[in-house]
Each structure stands twice: as structure tokens, then as C-alpha cells.
């Protein structure tokens, strides 16, 4: 059974949260096989004698865990917990099972732990979460109802119930379970409606999510959390209405800064820049000392195409942060980081206007140590773009490199500069040297492999790309590169299928992978499947190579006018693209 990364993180955090167990020395107590018969007061530990046998078994269990034999450690701790009735030993068994990724054993340990410590929310949550994840949901709603009914803090009980069902893989069932759990006893609590809204959103039921969010807001008209959900969940259902509703709510709740910024962000995403700027102006008038709004204003001005106004606001913002630095120590203020962020936006503005010299000037003014390396690397790229490769190389060489990550970034950047300048041999030479110095860096091997492919050194390309997969088995780009190359060369198509299938499983919405999969289906003459994947890729990525592939499939399917239209769009954007040029020549298509 596979578990999501988030669930695994959640359960591991539960497992690692506790401390190693040791048996408490008290009067002897007999072994009890049925943990359900235990009746200890909350927090009470059982009375048990620390015998030689128990001590020996604890040591063996701990040594097993240290050696990495987590299954044996888990089994030993579970047995010890049963014999001593000590929940700490069951918790230790749960921790060991989680480290060993044995979910069946973890569930047994969690059940034991929850049985021995029924008032421990961590123990009960672990047991219920594992039960839900393994599909054992029949009694989950009843168990959650009991927990909520017996809880003194109903709101916290609802939050815990929501967290437990959120770990279920089937979000529709999770919503049903939560709905049953939040019966009439708590359904009038705003937190219950918010929990149902979140569960509905996870189950892709946007209408229900909005309905529950609005119900929560009716129950608590001052709840910013509910108002946030109305906006976020309602944008997919009725965007104009929820935006208007949010604006009205903000008029009576002017201090809801987080929601106001969220609304501004959503308006910018909808390209309603003037409306967004009106809201920023309102916020600035209400809180003139909120200087962060200067930066927000500048960002939107830039997105709206008002570069001069954005530049003016950013310089004002930098002036404010400079004054803060002069009056306060950098250790007690974030002024340096804020000013650096402003300069990075000034770099973007300068680049958008083609003023590379101004962009480089702004990069040199960044003095935040956490951004200095990034800024100088970007400076080298701009120097190369301006045609000064020698200066770019000097910038990279002179840049202090604190660790292997920065050394690899420097090498990859310089190799990219050489590649863009058409100096592939120099890029290969540099990366070969870097690969020897940093032999376990998959990024270096990947870029070197792609350069080998460009040079036609296919054996070297394949060997190195397979090594990347060995070093980074979750690297979807490596599977995609190898699979696409096979498909493009019309060879090893069975392996290409497997490689691309796995790449798609890792990153199902990656447009480059979608393009590769589409090209594979074209090679095996499944034109309908090829068209589907290539159209999905082109919808996300208006790339000339994708357009070349999509146009070729359309042409072969007899849809030549559609093919011409796609090719012409791509030709206008990138007339020198090698794949597009070769495709047009092959089909005898020309554009002015």
C-alpha cells in the first residue's frame, strides 16, 4: 500500500514526538492480555517491577532500533507494553514501526498505545488516522462522535476529528465520515462548518465548500477565517459574487489585513489591476505606517505595466528600510532583507525594459548575505546576455562559495552561459571537471548528459542519465529526458513507454512530460492519444517545440489548416527554433 508524502510526514511527526520509554519501578503487577480491561486515571502509569527480564527485553528492543531492525524493535516494544501495561512502551513500538515504514505493525502499536492511554489525544489520533488510511472507516464516525461527545473542549475535538479524516485517501468518503461525526451536538459551532468546508474542498465539491463557508460566517459574522474561505472557495463557483461579498465584509471589518491582502492577490490574478490598486490605496490611507504596502503597491503597478510608478514606490520603500537600518541593528529588524527584495523587483523592471546595466547595478547593491550569492550569479547571467562572457566568468570565479551546493550552482550557471553562447565544448569540459569534484550531484550529471545528447554522444548520454536516475529516483526530468530521446529516435519504444509513464506518475501536469508522452504515442501511431497529450501540453506551454509536435500530428491526421495555424503562431514567437524549422522544412511549409 502506498501512502502520500503528507500522510507520511504527519505520522512520522506523531511517531517522533515522544520520548523513549522506560518502565516505572513499582509493585509487581500481572500480565493482562486484554488492554480494554485497564482502568487507570488519566496520566496514571501502571505499577510494575523492573525485572531482569523486562530490562533485558527493553535493551534488546532499543539495540534493534539502533541497528535499524525496526520490525523486531516494534514487535518487542508491543509485547513489552502488553506485559507491563505501560503506554510509553507501546508508543516506542509505534515510533519504531513508523521508522521501519511497516504500517501494519504501526497500526497494531497505535491501537495498543490508544488502548493503554485512551485519554492521550496523540495516541488516539495515531490509531484512528492509521485505521482511516487503511480503509477501516466503518467505526470511525462512531469513534469520532464519542470523542467529541466526551471532550470538554468541543472546538479542539472538532479540529482533531477534521485532522484525522483529512488523512483518508478517498476525500468523498472522508467528507461523509466527518459529516456523520459532526452531528447536532456541534453542528452549530462555526469551527464545525469550517471543517466541513475544508473537507468538501478537498473532495472537489466547490459548491458545498462555499455553502459551508457561508454557514460558518453566518454563525460567526466576525470570523475572518470564514470570510477567507468564502473568498477562496467561492472563486471557482461564483467569483463576482464572492468578491463583492468580501468587499462588503471588509468595509465593516477594516482591520482584517490578511483577508484584504488575499483579495488583492486574487484580483491581480484576475488581472483586475485597477480594482486591486484601489484596495491598496484604501489600506495605505487607513494604515500609513504600514510600509509593506508600498512594496505591494509597487508589485501591482509593475504587473499593470506602470514601470515608472513601480520604480518610484520601490525607491521610497528602500529609503524607509535604509532609515530603519540606521536606527536599528540588523539583528532586530528585517529591513535589510526587505530592501533586498525591493532591489530584486527593480532588477525585474530593468530587465523588462532591456536595461541590463541598471539591473546589474541593482544586483550589486544587494547586501543581504542570504541573497548575495544568488544576486551575483544572476549578475553573471546578465553580463553574458550583454555579450561579456569573460566578465561573467570572472564574476563566477571570484564569487565565494560556502558549500557544495553553491559550487554546483556556480558550475551549472557557467555551463549554461557557455551553452547559450553556442560553446558546447567548453560547457562539457567545465561540467566534466565539476562532476569529478562533486561526483554525487545529480544536477551536474543531468546537464552534462543533455550536452552529450546535443553532441550526439548517445552512449554517454544514456549512461549518465541512468546514473542520474540511480542518484535521484524521484527526478521526473531524468525519466522524461531518456524516454523522450528514445521516442524521438524511434527506438527502445517499450522502455520509452515505461520511463515516460513513471515520469508522468511523478509529475502528471508537467507540460514537458505531456509533450514527450504525446510524441511517444505519435511514434507508435496512436494519433488520438498523441493529440490529447500534445494539446494538454500546448495549453500549459506555448513552446515552439511542442507546437512543432502538435502541428505534425494534426497534419498527419488531415487537419492541415489547424496545423498551419499552430505552426504559424510558434513561428511568430520563435522563428529560429530548430525543431520547428526542421518540421516546417520536412512538410514543405513556409511562412513570410
Asked if 82 and 31 touch (Cβ cutoff 8 Å), the reply is yes
Q: Which three cell numbers stand for residue 343?
A: 532591489
Backbone angles phi, psi at 48, to 5 degrees: -150, 140
Per-residue pLDDT, averaged over 305-312, amounts to: 97
Alpha-carbon 129 to chain mean position: 22
Asked if 587 and 553 touch (Cβ cutoff 8 Å), the reply is no
Structural domains counted in the chain: 1
Q: What's the pLDDT at 7? A: 40
Burial class of residue 158, CB neighbours in 10 A (0-12, 13-18, 19+):
buried
- What are the Cα distances from residue 265, in Å, to 297, 311, 477? 11, 20, 31
Domain assignment present for 340: yes
CA atoms within a 13 Å half-sphere pointing along the CA-CB vector of 435: 18
Q: What is the pLDDT of residues 461-520, one digit of tens each?
A: 999 999 999 999 999 999 999 999 999 999 999 999 999 999 999 999 999 999 999 999
Q: Which three cell numbers stand for residue 302?
A: 509593475
Position 24 pLDDT exceeds 70: no
Burial class of residue 314, CB neighbours in 10 A (0-12, 13-18, 19+):
buried
Q: What's the pLDDT at 138? A: 60
How confident is residue 174, by pLDDT bands cut at 50, 70 and 90? confident
Position 130 pLDDT exceeds 90: no
Percent of the chain at pLDDT above 70?
A: 90
DSSP category for residue 332: G
Domain assignment present for 141: no
Q: What is the pLDDT of residues 519-551, one digit of tens each?
A: 999 999 999 999 999 999 999 999 999 999 999
* Distance (Å, whole) CA 417 – CA 384: 7
Q: What's the pLDDT at 503? A: 96
For residue 25, list its beta bridge partners: 48
Asked if 412 and 444 touch (Cβ cutoff 8 Å), the reply is yes
Position 281 pLDDT exceeds 70: yes
Per-residue pLDDT, averaged over 410-418, amounts to: 97
Look-up of cell digits 557557455: 418
Domain assignment present for 334: yes
Sign for the CA dihedral angle at 428, 429, 432, 437 comes to: negative
Average pLDDT value for the chain:
88
Whole-model pTM: value is: 0.71
Backbone angles phi, psi at 389, to 5 degrees: -70, -35
Q: What's the pLDDT at 547? A: 97
244 sits in which H/E element: helix 239-252
289: number of Cβ within 10 Å? 6
Q: What's the pLDDT at 558? A: 96
How confident is residue 127, by pLDDT bands cut at 50, 70 and 90? confident
Q: What's the pLDDT at 18? A: 40
Radius of gyration of the chain (CA): 30
**Cβ partners under 8 Å of residue 332, min gap 6:** none
Alpha-carbon 424 to chain mean position: 34
DSSP category for residue 331: G
Per-residue pLDDT, averaged over 288-303, amounts to: 95
Q: Which residue has the higher pLDDT, 21 or 57?
A: 57
The torsion angle over the Cα atoms of residues 262, 265, 269 and 274, rounded to 10 degrees, is 120
* Distance (Å, whole) CA 533 – CA 414: 34
Domain assignment present for 117: no
Look-up of cell digits 542520474: 468
* Distance (Å, whole) CA 226 – CA 224: 5
Q: Which residue has the higher pLDDT, 489 or 139?
A: 489
Asked if 294 and 280 touch (Cβ cutoff 8 Å), the reply is no
* Distance (Å, whole) CA 514 – CA 176: 34
* Distance (Å, whole) CA 125 – CA 212: 25
Q: What's the pLDDT at 39? A: 45
Alpha-carbon 408 to chain mean position: 23
Domain assignment present for 39: no
Domain assignment present for 382: yes
Q: Which three cell numbers stand for residue 315?
A: 525607491
Q: What's the pLDDT at 43? A: 55
Q: What's the pLDDT at 142? A: 78
Sign for the CA dihedral angle at 26, 27, 31, 33 comes to: negative
The residue count of the chain comes to: 592
Q: Where are the alpha helices (DSSP H) in 36-69?
A: 52-66
Q: What is the pLDDT of residues 326-385, one digit of tens each?
A: 888 777 788 999 999 999 999 999 999 999 999 999 999 999 999 999 999 999 999 999
Q: What is the pLDDT of residues 188-207, one digit of tens each?
A: 899 999 999 999 999 999 99
For residue 172, list its beta bridge partners: none
Domain assignment present for 363: yes
Q: End-to-end alpha-carbon separation of the chain, Å?
A: 57
Position 133 pLDDT exceeds 80: no
* Distance (Å, whole) CA 1 – CA 324: 55
Q: What is the pLDDT of residues 197-239, one digit of tens each?
A: 999 999 999 999 999 999 999 999 999 999 999 999 999 999 9
- What are the Cα distances from residue 6, in Å, to 163, 169, 292, 501? 12, 11, 33, 23
**Range of the structural domain that residue 314 is part of:** 291-399
* Distance (Å, whole) CA 267 – CA 294: 17
Closest CA to 537 of 558, 556, 517: 517
Q: Which three cell numbers stand for residue 449?
A: 548528459
Domain assignment present for 339: yes
* Distance (Å, whole) CA 257 – CA 261: 6
530: number of Cβ within 10 Å? 25
Q: Where are the alpha helices (DSSP H) in 255-368?
A: 257-269, 273-286, 292-303, 307-327, 335-352, 356-364
Pick from 127-136, 201-210, 288-297, 432-441: least confident: 127-136
For residue 371, the domain's CATH number is: 1.25.40.10
* Distance (Å, whole) CA 395 – CA 589: 45
Closest CA to 487 of 476, 498, 474, 502: 498
**Cβ partners under 8 Å of residue 401, min gap 6:** 373, 407, 410
Per-residue pLDDT, averaged over 555-584, amounts to: 96
Per-residue pLDDT, averaged over 275-299, amounts to: 95
DSSP helix/strand/coil, 157: helix
Closest CA to 436 of 456, 413, 411: 411
Per-residue pLDDT, averaged over 32-45, amounts to: 45
Q: What's the pLDDT at 132? A: 64
DSSP helix/strand/coil, 166: coil
Per-residue pLDDT, averaged over 414-434, amounts to: 96
Asked if 516 and 546 touch (Cβ cutoff 8 Å), the reply is no
For residue 48, list its beta bridge partners: 25
* Distance (Å, whole) CA 124 – CA 413: 51
Q: Which three cell numbers stand for residue 333?
A: 529588524
How confident is residue 134, by pLDDT bands cut at 50, 70 and 90? low
Amino acid at each position: 500500500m502506498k501512502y502520500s508524502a503528507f500522510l507520511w510526514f504527519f505520522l512520522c511527526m506523531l511517531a517522533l514526538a515522544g520520548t523513549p520509554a522506560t518502565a516505572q519501578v513499582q509493585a509487581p503487577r500481572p500480565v493482562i492480555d486484554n488492554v480494554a480491561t485497564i482502568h487507570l486515571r488519566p496520566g496514571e502509569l501502571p505499577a510494575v517491577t523492573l525485572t531482569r527480564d523486562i530490562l533485558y527485553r527493553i535493551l534488546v528492543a532499543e539495540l534493534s532500533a539502533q541497528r535499524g531492525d525496526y520490525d523486531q524493535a516494534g514487535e518487542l516494544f508491543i509485547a513489552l507494553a502488553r506485559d507491563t501495561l505501560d503506554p510509553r512502551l507501546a508508543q516506542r513500538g509505534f515510533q519504531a514501526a513508523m521508522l521501519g515504514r511497516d504500517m501494519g505493525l504501526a497500526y497494531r502499536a497505535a491501537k495498543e498505545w490508544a488502548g493503554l492511554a485512551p485519554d492521550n489525544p496523540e495516541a488516539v489520533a495515531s490509531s484512528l488516522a492509521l485505521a482511516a488510511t487503511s480503509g477501516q472507516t466503518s467505526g470511525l464516525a462512531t469513534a469520532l462522535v464519542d470523542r467529541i461527545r466526551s471532550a470538554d473542549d468541543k472546538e479542539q475535538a472538532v479540529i482533531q476529528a477534521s485532522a484525522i479524516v483529512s488523512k483518508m485517501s478517498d476525500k468523498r468518503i472522508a467528507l461523509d465520515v466527518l459529516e456523520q461525526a459532526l452531528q447536532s451536538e456541534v453542528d452549530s459551532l462555526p469551527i464545525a462548518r469550517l471543517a466541513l468546508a475544508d473537507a468538501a474542498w478537498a473532495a472537489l465539491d466547490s459548491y458545498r465548500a462555499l455553502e459551508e463557508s457561508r454557514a460558518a460566517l453566518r454563525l460567526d459574522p466576525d470570523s475572518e477565517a470564514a470570510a477567507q474561505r468564502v473568498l477562496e472557495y467561492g472563486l471557482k463557483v461564483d467569483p463576482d459574487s464572492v468578491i463583492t461579498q468580501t468587499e462588503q465584509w471588509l468595509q465593516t471589518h477594516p482591520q482584517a489585513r490578511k483577508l484584504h491582502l488575499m483579495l488583492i492577490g486574487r484580483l491581480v490574478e484576475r488581472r483586475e489591476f485597477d480594482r486591486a490598486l484601489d484596495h491598496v490605496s484604501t489600506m495605505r490611507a487607513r494604515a500609513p505606517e504600514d510600509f509593506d504596502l508600498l512594496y505591494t503597491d509597487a508589485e501591482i503597478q509593475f504587473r499593470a505595466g506602470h514601470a515608472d510608478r513601480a520604480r518610484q514606490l520601490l525607491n521610497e520603500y528602500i529609503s524607509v528600510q535604509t532609515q530603519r537600518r540606521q536606527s536599528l541593528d540588523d539583528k532586530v529588524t528585517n529591513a535589510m532583507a526587505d530592501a533586498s527584495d525591493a532591489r530584486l523587483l527593480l532588477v525585474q523592471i530593468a530587465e523588462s525594459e532591456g536595461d541590463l546595466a541598471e539591473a546589474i547595478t541593482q544586483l550589486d547593491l544587494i547586501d543581504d548575505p542570504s541573497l548575495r550569492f544568488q544576486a551575483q550569479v544572476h549578475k553573471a547571467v546578465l553580463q553574458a546576455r550583454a555579450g561579456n562572457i569573460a566578465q561573467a566568468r570572472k564574476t563566477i570565479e571570484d564569487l565565494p562559495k560556502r558549500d557544495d551546493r553553491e559550487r554546483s550552482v556556480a558550475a551549472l550557471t557557467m555551463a549554461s552561459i557557455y551553452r547559450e553562447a553556442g560553446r558546447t565544448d567548453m560547457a562539457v569540459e567545465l561540467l566534466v571537471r565539476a562532476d569529478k569534484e562533486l561526483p554525487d550531484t545529480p544536477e551536474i550529471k543531468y546537464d552534462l548528459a543533455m550536452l552529450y545528447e546535443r553532441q550526439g554522444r548517445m552512449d554517454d548520454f544514456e549512461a549518465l542519465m541512468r546514473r542520474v536516475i540511480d542518484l535521484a529516483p524521484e527526478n521526473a526530468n531524468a525519466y522524461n529526458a531518456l524516454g523522450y530521446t528514445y521516442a524521438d529516435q524511434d527506438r527502445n519504444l517499450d522502455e520509452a513507454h515505461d520511463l515516460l509513464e513513471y515520469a508522468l506518475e511523478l509529475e502528471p501536469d508537467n507540460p514537458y512530460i505531456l509533450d514527450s508522452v504525446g510524441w511517444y504515442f505519435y511514434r507508435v501511431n496512436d494519433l488520438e492519444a498523441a493529440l490529447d497529450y500534445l494539446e494538454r501540453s500546448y495549453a500549459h506551454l506555448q513552446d515552439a517545440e511542442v507546437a512543432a509536435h502538435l502541428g505534425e500530428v494534426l497534419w498527419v491526421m488531415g487537419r492541415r489548416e489547424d496545423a498551419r495555424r499552430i505552426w504559424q503562431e510558434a513561428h511568430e514567437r520563435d522563428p529560429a527554433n530548430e525543431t520547428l524549422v526542421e518540421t516546417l522544412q520536412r512538410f514543405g511549409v513556409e511562412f513570410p
